[in-house]
Amino acid sequence: MENEINLLSLFIHAGFFVKLVMLSLLAMSIYSWAIILQRYRLIKNAQQQLIQFEHKFWSGIDLNALYKEISQRTTPVNGLERLFCSGVKEYMRLNSLSKNAPDAVVDGIYRTMNVSLNRELSQMETHLPTLATIGSISPYVGLFGTVWGIMNAFIALSAEQSATLNMVAPGIAEALIATAMGLFAAIPAVAAYNRFTVSVGKLEGSYVNFIDELTGILHRQTYNPKGNK
pLDDT at position 62: 86
User: Is residue 2 included in any domain, yes or no?
Assistant: no
pLDDT at position 2: 47
> How many structural domains does the chain have?
1
pLDDT at position 61: 83
User: Is residue 153 included in any domain, yes or no?
Assistant: yes
Range of the structural domain that residue 200 is part of: 10-223
pLDDT at position 1: 41
User: Is residue 228 included in any domain, yes or no?
Assistant: no
pLDDT at position 188: 95
pLDDT at position 162: 62
pLDDT at position 84: 92
Q: Could you write out the three-class secondary structure of the chain?
A: CCCCCCHHHHHHHCCHHHHHHHHHHHHHHHHHHHHHHHHHHHHHHHHHHHHHHHHHHCCCCCHHHHHHHHHCCCCCCCHHHHHHHHHHHHHHHHHCCCCCCHHHHHHHHHHHHHHHHHHHHHHHCCCHHHHHHHHHHHHHHHHHHHHHHHHHHHHHHHCCCCCCHHHHHHHHHHHHHHHHHHHHHHHHHHHHHHHHHHHHHHHHHHHHHHHHHHHHHHHHHHHCCCCCC
* pTM of the entire predicted model: 0.80
Name the stretches of the chain with pLDDT < 50: 1-2, 227
pLDDT at position 203: 94
pLDDT at position 224: 64
User: Is residue 143 included in any domain, yes or no?
Assistant: yes
